[in-house]
């Protein structure tokens, strides 16, 4: 018995020592192998997730480094590549081929170790892309100089009228040659995003949210390097600052950017010209990490590109509400029907009549009903907080409806369609369907406009003109069409969903 007990203790000691040695080996590899770290997280909510693959680079093969040595006896090194030369990754528009010029309207890219410079008074900008001068063949494989490569404005499909674009110019660099003007550059750290604000003449809150802010947010989510970045790390540069907009547009621009852009950056939005003016070299600014290309990342008008974006939309909504101190997961415990009284084009003609009929309908007794007459006097925080009380919003189509993507869970947006004429018959057109078809955190119903008495046009517009019908038809709401949709919204909110 004594021998058996001693044997058992010895066996346990051997196992314990083995475990300790394995842990020490793991500890050594974890802290001393800086280029090949693998971190696996514990299961969260029943899901396993690979937390990080931190392979910073694959070391250069010695034979390759020696072959392309910049100076005799001093081989090209991985450290030099990381700190002196440029790299890039692009998505969309034949992302690996810089020679595909006709893809510039839709391409988005992330650059490392590049410089941005102005091209005289032209709205075209140039990215200096540095490659080792010892590898001459790289110059012909990167990009053809003088090609338009990126658009910096959402929805751009052709170059005209002050549209900001970027060319990429490859520049050979010998970082060990101190006489090379590019060998001792100062770089801005963190991540910089550059773009051109969309609404030059019509500062529409809904479009600023989805074309400008969401486009930049989606850009960050597309690249692994910036997918999980903090707003503290990100900076937004615009080619036309809010102060350059005339009159009331300037104050609206400040209000919207200050209200929305904290989702992306905790820093003030700056103009690119302000950086040029403050730079040591006023003609060029250098970045460690630059995200550029905004052509198809916005949500409005790019339906197919929103496929599988429901999670990104939901995250964008949550972060926007959190930035204003609002809990994104609260569900209202009583119904609130809001009718949107828009002035100008695409308004409801008879909103007061519909309001009175809702109040007079017995099944809606006790439900709060309000008319939103004017939101411009509310701060962004006040608007977002108000919308969190709404369970059924009835809105005209257009940019005004886009505000209601922040509605709380279990809520419904009833957005009007607009009349389309086809072979003498009116059919409902769905404006902003590119956005609403890809939302999963709220219920969206389109109010049908499919008869000649469903709308009115002001004098001077023809009811056969597609543009007039889309942009200037004011809607006559009908009880027999609207109330069944409200009923559906109330029932849907009651059904239990996870």
Q: Which range, of 5-9, 59-63, 88-92, 462-466, averages the lowest pLDDT?
A: 5-9
At residue 299, the pLDDT reads 83
Is a pLDDT exceeding 70 seen at residue 89? yes
- Under a CB-based contact definition with an 8 Å cutoff, are residues 145 and 170 in contact? yes
Confidence of residue 158 (pLDDT cuts 50, 70, 90): low
pLDDT band at 203 (very low <50, low <70, confident <90, very high): low
**Quick one: what percent of the chain has pLDDT higher than 90?**
42
Domains in the chain: boundaries: 77-298, 317-494
Confidence of residue 96 (pLDDT cuts 50, 70, 90): low
pLDDT at 8 over 60: no
User: Which range has the worst mean pLDDT, 2-6, 31-35, 457-461?
Assistant: 31-35
Average pLDDT score over residue span 387-414: 94
Closest CA to 193 of 272, 83, 93, 277: 272
pLDDT at 190: 94
Q: Residue 319: name the closest of 404, 255, 260 by CA.
A: 260
Q: How far apart are CA 446 and CA 390, in angstroms?
A: 17
88 with 109: CB under 8 angstroms? yes
CB-based contacts of 397, cutoff 8 Å, min separation 6: 346, 415, 416, 417, 418, 430, 431, 432
pTM above 0.85, yes or no: no
| pLDDT band for position 47 (cuts 50, 70, 90) | very low
* pLDDT number for residue 424: 85
Burial classification of residue 123, based on how many CB atoms lie within 10 Å of its CB (0-12 exposed, 13-18 middle, 19 or more buried): middle
Q: What is the mean pLDDT of the chain?
A: 83
Measured CA to CA, the distance from residue 145 to residue 139 in angstroms comes to: 10
Judging by beta carbons within 10 Å of its beta carbon (0-12, 13-18, 19+), is residue 190 exposed, middle or buried? middle
The phi and psi torsions of 170 (rounded to 5 degrees) equal -75, 135
* pLDDT value at residue 313: 93
Q: Which CATH number fits domain 317-494: 1.10.10, 3.40.1350, 1.10.3470, 3.40.50?
A: 3.40.50
């Amino acid at each position: 018995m004594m021998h058996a007990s001693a044997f058992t203790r010895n066996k346990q000691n051997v196992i314990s020592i083995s475990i300790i040695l394995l842990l020490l080996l793991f500890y050594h590899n974890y802290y001393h192998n800086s280029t090949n770290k693998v971190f696996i997280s514990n299961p969260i909510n029943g899901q396993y997730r690979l937390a990080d693959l931190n392979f910073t680079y694959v070391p250069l093969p010695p034979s390759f480094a020696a072959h392309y040595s910049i100076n005799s006896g001093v081989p090209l090194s991985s450290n030099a590549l990381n700190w002196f030369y440029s790299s890039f990754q692009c998505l969309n528009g034949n992302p690996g081929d810089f020679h595909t010029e006709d893809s510039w309207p839709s391409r988005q890219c992330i650059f490392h170790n590049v410089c941005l410079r102005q091209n005289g008074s032209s709205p075209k900008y140039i990215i200096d892309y540095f490659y080792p001068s010892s590898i001459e063949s790289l110059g012909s494989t990167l990009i053809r100089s003088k090609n338009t490569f990126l658009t910096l404005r959402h929805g751009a499909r052709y170059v005209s009228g002050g549209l900001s674009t970027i060319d990429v110019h490859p520049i050979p660099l010998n970082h060990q040659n101190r006489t090379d003007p590019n060998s001792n550059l100062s770089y801005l750290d963190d991540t910089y995003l550059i773009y051109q604000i969309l609404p030059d003449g019509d500062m529409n809150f809904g479009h600023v949210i989805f074309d400008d802010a969401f486009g930049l947010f989606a850009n960050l989510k597309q690249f692994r390097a910036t997918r999980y970045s903090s707003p503290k790390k990100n900076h937004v540069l615009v080619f036309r600052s809010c102060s350059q907009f005339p009159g009331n547009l300037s104050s609206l621009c400040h209000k919207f950017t200050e209200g929305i852009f904290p989702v992306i950056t905790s820093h003030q939005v700056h103009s690119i010209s302000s950086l040029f003016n403050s730079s040591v070299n006023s003609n060029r600014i250098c970045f460690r990490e630059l995200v550029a290309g905004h052509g198809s990342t916005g949500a409005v008008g790019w339906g197919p590109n929103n496929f599988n974006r429901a999670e990104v939309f939901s995250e964008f909504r949550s972060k926007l509400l959190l930035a204003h101190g609002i809990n994104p997961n609260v569900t209202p415990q009583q119904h609130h029907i809001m009718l949107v009284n828009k002035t100008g084009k695409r308004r409801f003609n008879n909103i007061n009549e519909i309001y009175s009929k809702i109040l007079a309908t017995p099944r809606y007794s006790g439900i709060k009903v309000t008319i939103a007459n004017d939101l411009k006097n509310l701060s962004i925080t006040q608007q977002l907080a108000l919308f969190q009380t709404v369970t059924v919003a009835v809105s005209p189509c257009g940019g005004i409806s886009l505000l209601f993507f922040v509605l709380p869970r279990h809520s419904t947006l009833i957005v009007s369609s607009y009349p389309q004429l086809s072979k003498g018959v009116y059919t409902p057109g769905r404006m902003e369907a590119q956005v609403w078809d890809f939302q999963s955190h709220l219920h969206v119903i389109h109010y049908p406009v499919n008869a000649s008495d469903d709308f009115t046009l002001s004098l001077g517009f023809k009811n056969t003109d597609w543009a007039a019908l889309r942009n200037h038809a004011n809607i006559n709401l009908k009880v027999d069409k609207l109330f069944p949709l409200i009923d559906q919204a109330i029932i849907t909110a009651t059904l239990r969903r996870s």
